[in-house]
Every structure is written in structure tokens, then in C-alpha cells.
Amino acid sequence: MTLLARFLGPFSQLVVLLAMLVGSSCSSDKETSIVTFDSLVWADEFEGAGALDTAKWFHQTQLPPWGEWFGGLINHYTDRVENSYQQDGYLHLLAKRESFEDQGYEKEFTSARLNSKFAFTYGRVEVRAKVPQGVGTWPAIWMLNTNITEAGAYWEQQGYGTTSWPHCGEIDILEHWGKNQDYVSSAVHTTSSYGDQVINVGGKKIDNASTDFHTYGLEWTKEKLVFSVDGDNYYSYQPTVRDSTTWPFDMEYYFLLNIAIERGIDSSFQESPLVVDYIRVYQ
């Protein structure tokens, strides 16, 4: 071994060590890189006419045992084409003022509540929609875990129900209250934050939510949920502590689309639709 080699020996070892550290850093960066969801795995473009595609959607109509939906709602959900139909490439989910008797209860408003027969874990969701207008209307595009125990829901009927709400988890992609026109909201309900006491919530004021189409988005990864409207991210949920009370979002979730009617609805309200151009899921 030459004198130069003896001199460079420790130095060369240091160089190798530094190279290993750099390589490790690069590997870590790759592991935490942004996930890209660009493969369309499920969609409904609502190109049919009349009734919805029953291969994709289920009408949830069964009332809770006490005769009204959670939150003291004053409407029936029906499976009639009068309340949900396809026309000219759009889904029309229509809330109406009308006396309607079902399951032994008469109510003065009807609308529809849809469950998707598709469920998935992680991905990007896009929904292009216009929301109904009128104080007392409460439309939502949201998601529940297939394991929820809720009599009359599609996945409960398929034998998946094991876990009560809110422990199952809920993802609200879009909510809009007619009493706060043009303010769109997203929320995450879990054991640690739910119902009227929910703290994991964000929103944004937009223009013409009921007269113009807007694209509502959800990006769902193993680490976080990011909500957007027209490409603008306005709320992100990424809990520091990740356990069953804060993050039940590693399981399959399905879509719900509905218009609820609240007590105190405007006396002049007659009808107004949630109009959906498309709903798409990318993974």
C-alpha cells in the first residue's frame, strides 16, 4: 500500500459514509413524495334518462325508529322519480314541499337520499354540482364507512354493519345551508369530534353556489384529507395523534347524496334541486 493510499484510507471511508447518508435522505424523500391519483376507477356521468342507474345507486328511505331523521329533519326521503332522476346529462335530486305519508308518518317535504354501491379506500374525488337554494335546505355530498350500523342503509343490508356513528367515521365533502347562502363547508366526524361539537371543519365563501356549477374535491391519502372547491384547497385534516378516535379512515367508504329539510324552512319554499353533472373517483 502506498503512502498516499494510507493517507486517503480514513478519508475515503468518510466519503463513503457521507454518500450513504445522502442516499438514505434521497430514499426518504421518495417515500414521502406526493401521491398522484390519476386513474379513473369509478364514475357516474348521469347520461341516462329518468330513473337512476340501480347498479350504482340505492335509495335510502327507512326512517329511524323514532320517526324522523337525525337533527330533527322534517322531510321524507323517497325512491320516486319525482325526487331523483337523470335528464340532459345531469342528476336532479329534488326537494319539494308536498304532503307525503310513509312508514306511518306524514311529512310536508320530500327529497332523496342516495347511497352508492361503490366503496373505496384512498383516492381523489371530484363532484361538479349546483346546490339548492332556500332557507332551510341542507344538501350534502358526503361519505360513510361501510361498517356503519344504520338500519335501512345499503351496506348495512349487505351485512357490513359493525360500528355505530360517529366511531365509524364520516367525511363531508360538501355541505351547504340555505340560511348561509354561498358558504360551502367540509367536516370530518370521528369519536374525537362529531355532531354539533365537531371541531374538524372548514369552509369557504364562493359566488353563485346555486346558479353556477362548481367542482368540489377530496384528496384522501393515508396521512390526510384535503378538501377543495374549483381547485382551491380550503381545509385539510391531518391529526397529529392517529388512532381509532381520530383516524378511522383506512377502510372502505361509500358516497351519500341528499337534501335534508330543517325546521324553520322558509314558508315560501316550494322546490329546489341539487344538480350534479358528474361524480368521479381516481386512484
Question: 106 catalytic, yes or no?
Answer: no
Q: Are 259 and 111 in contact (CB under 8 A)?
A: yes
**What stretches of 72-223 show up as alpha helix (H) in DSSP?**
154-157
Classify 50 in phi/psi space as left (phi over 0), alpha (psi -120 to 50) or beta.
left
Query: Residue 44: what residue type?
Result: D
Cell of 254: 361509500
Q: Out of 126, 150, 156, 175, which one is annotated catalytic?
A: 175
Burial class (CB in 10 A: 0-12, 13-18, 19+), 23: exposed
Q: Out of 126, 170, 219, 262, which one is annotated catalytic?
A: 170
Q: How far apart are the C-alpha atoms of 273 and 154, rounded to whole Å?
A: 23
Question: 262 catalytic, yes or no?
Answer: no
Q: How far apart are the C-alpha atoms of 44 and 152, rounded to whole Å?
A: 23
Query: 3-state class of 235 per DSSP?
Result: strand
Q: Are 144 and 163 in contact (CB under 8 A)?
A: no
Please tell me the number of Cα atoms within 13 Å of 201 on its side-chain side: 15
Task: Provide the b/e sequence for 170-194 (b: ≥16 CB within 10 Å).
Answer: bbbbbbbbbeebeebbbbbbbebbb
For residue 42, what are the CA distances in angstroms to 38, 56, 62, 142? 12, 10, 27, 16
The residues carrying an active-site annotation are 170, 175
